[in-house]
A and B are shown apart, each in its own frame.
Chain A
């Protein structure tokens, strides 16, 4: 089992004919993901790596039975692309695009909720369950099938931690980037709930960072879980009121400090790694 995606997930890529779209379509196909179609308005009828391209999402869903979409559309057009996908009945949106205006993100999330659809991101590397499905832009080769579930607000830092986990001999059940933006779809808690129910996951790693209260909220949820949770928090030495690369990574009006997050995890007995490379050591004890 896995969360949100599996070997039967049928994926379309919105923005498949772009540089990123073409590259990651190939990488996902190589991984074994069922990429059944792509959408680029005006490019319908063409193909990318043997995958049919459609002008619109509804058409692609009708032709292929797709139930998930990866959105690689530039920020100014991302809201429209998401609305189109949700309107066509897509159940899972993986929104890779970064720098989406916050008001647009709020509208996307609200519409998704009204359609009972899930959104991963925006500003996420995606989701991967080794051996089953990858919808995203992560480097497949660093992952290995295993029992550690990972939920993260960042990209490269996640890869760093994943590679340490893989090198230690452990592997991953599902690794999901929840997104580095302030307005996101699936939260840490949503991911934790799913991983608690997932037979393949034995331990959950949360990779958090400064800004917002997602980690504090996650810590409050921990006592209701049977599975062991571990954490890493980036930005312990970040200054206040400065956006540290991610739109969501900002200590604002005294809120969102690493200190507060680490304290919240300490309180519920979640071990917090001081180095990314310490995560596997914490898990194996």
Chain B
């Protein structure tokens, strides 16, 4: 779960991170008495908002109103801006970069820091980035901070202050089960203090059970995706109009790929998982119906999952909801014969292979 900048800063400041004074708002009236000059920043879960015009500066409330008009409602990489963060303008002496991420290639935490902050870290040359992989068994140790401050060639005073910031960020990263905790830029002010200019935090969805406080937090998901998440069903909304249901994430992706190759366009990715519980199959179909696909492509491989039990769930769902969406079903494996009978009985269009099913879906959609 990605956090908005203002949420990320709220969280980090709980751990002792210095952040600029700021207010979240969706209309300008709220920031009438804000001590200007201020930065007005679009709150979206996409990078590159600066380039897209999502950050403006205002010297007065009047200018702020103008900035609100421009930014609220703006579309940045497919996300509509609904809120802005109004923040005191910082006197910037230097901009640094600091992050903790999970390096999946190595399987440990990667600490990165650079004096070339304020730009995309991907564009910073490797020799300008301090990197340290950290064993989760020992965590952040003083020697790592010593190496970091030495590599960044900071003054003794700056190094000491930065060490504190690194510790605070690591604490938040570890205690909140984050996949990513990034401060870019980490601003060194003219007065010589560090302040988090921006903050990006992604929390690990798998660890949310340890953090019930995030349970109902605003998510930048489609309402149906939120509904699916509550039910523990993997559901992703896509651009097309054809609903794809399969069992297993890999198989669902593969089915979607074949469908696209045959000229169809997936509108829903729905992974049933390893279930053959008819009740769960029904719930999955109800979700699919809410997405209003033109055709449904059902692809089941029954290894341990019994095909006929899945088929029964599908049949009941179609009957109970009186669904008239055509379903093309390819079903293979355990109790395949019985399953095919049930599906035929329910009026579904049978197919023997994924390709055949995809071709049939495209044909039915066109008809």
Contacts and interface: CB of A to CB of B under 8 A. Distances in A.
Contacts of A214: 105
Interface in A32-63: none
Q: Which range holds the interface residue count of chain B?
A: 35 or more
Given A103-B207, A110-B137, A156-B246, A139 B254 contact: no
Contacts of A244: 234, 236, 249, 252-253, 269, 271
Contacts of B174: 103
Nearest to A155: B248
Interface centre among B136, B249, B334 (most CB of A within 10 A): B249
A212 interface: yes
Contact of B204 (A101, A142, A158): A101
Interface centre among A137, A248, A275 (most CB of B within 10 A): A275
A103 B177 contact: yes
B324 interface: no
A160 B207 CA distance: 31
Contacts of B102: 102-103, 106, 182-183
A107 B105 CA distance: 15
B140 interface: no
Interface string A180-209: 101110000000000000000000000101
Nearest to B302: A139
Contacts of B261: 274
Contact of B274 (A99, A111, A155): A155
Contacts of A156: 246-248, 250-251, 274, 301, 303
Contacts of A153: 250
Contacts of B217: none
B122 A209 contact: no
A223 interface: no
Interface stretch (A4-12, A168-176, A235-243): A235-243
A263 B234 CA distance: 28
Q: Is the interface of B mostly helix, strand, loop or mixed?
A: mixed
A157 B251 contact: yes
A154 B249 contact: yes
Given A156-B303, A160-B301, A242 B236 contact: yes
B250 A103 contact: no
B107 interface: yes
A238 B250 contact: no
B185 to A, nearest CB: 18
A166 interface: no
A80 to B, nearest CB: 14
A214 B105 CA distance: 7
Contacts of B156: none
Interface of A: 27, 75-76, 99-107, 109-111, 114, 137-139, 142, 152-160, 163, 180, 182-184, 207, 209-210, 212-214, 217, 232, 234-239, 242-249, 253, 274-277
Would you list the 10 A-B pairs with minimal beta carbon distance, nearest first?
A245-B249, A154-B250, A156-B248, A157-B250, A139-B303, A101-B207, A234-B253, A245-B234, A245-B271, A182-B104
